[in-house]
């Protein structure tokens, strides 16, 4: 019967290695998402989506998110739908000074999946050192 004895410092070393790898992959995912949503992503890109991409490190975890109220439309696409104002005023593009009236027939949009593409991309991991 074989007995395996692990060096007590091995667990601390594995924690450091996992933290370094999480930082590396998290940074790459963050950069890939930011690049995917950079203008001109669509014909009406304003940079709002790019400005809402954030990342934070939480030890061996890394969180990346898109912080707009329409991130799901970009990620998963949208069916054709009507857009109506939230009050007694016409719809407008304030940035360009355009007015669209009280109803817009949006043609829908295909999914672009910047987050899923970045997360599921195969990556080369760096060597982070032995014991």
Closest-CA residue to 119 (of 62, 45, 51): 62
- Determine phi and psi for 15, rounding to 5 degrees: -60, -45
Please tell me the predicted confidence (pLDDT) of residue 32: 94
Q: How far apart are CA 122 and CA 119, in angstroms?
A: 9
pLDDT in tens, 73-95: 889 999 999 999 999 999 988 77
Q: How far apart are CA 11 and CA 8, in angstroms?
A: 6
Please tell me the predicted confidence (pLDDT) of residue 90: 92
pLDDT in tens, 27-63: 999 999 999 988 776 555 677 888 899 999 887 788 9
pTM of the full predicted structure? 0.73
Q: What percent of the chain has pLDDT over 90?
A: 37
Q: What is the DSSP code string of 14-61?
A: HHHHHHHHHHHHHHHHHHHHHHHTSSSSSTT--SHHHHTEEEEEETTE
H or E stretch at 118: helix 114-119
pLDDT in tens, 20-29: 888 889 999 9
Please tell me the predicted confidence (pLDDT) of residue 42: 55
Is residue 71 within 8 Å of 37, Cβ to Cβ?
no
């Amino acid at each position: 019967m074989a007995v395996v004895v692990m060096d007590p410092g091995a667990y601390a070393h594995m924690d450091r290695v996992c933290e370094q790898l999480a930082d590396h992959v998290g940074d790459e995912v963050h950069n890939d998402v930011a690049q995917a949503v950079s203008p001109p992503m669509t014909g009406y890109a304003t940079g709002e989506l790019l400005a809402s991409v954030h990342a934070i490190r939480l030890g061996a975890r890394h969180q990346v998110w898109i912080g707009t109220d329409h991130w799901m439309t970009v990620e998963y696409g949208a069916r054709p739908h009507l857009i109506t104002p939230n009050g007694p005023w016409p719809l407008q593009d304030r940035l360009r000074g355009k007015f669209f009236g009280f109803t817009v027939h949006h043609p829908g949009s295909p999914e672009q999946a910047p987050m899923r593409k970045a997360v599921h991309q195969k990556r080369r991991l760096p060597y982070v050192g032995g014991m």
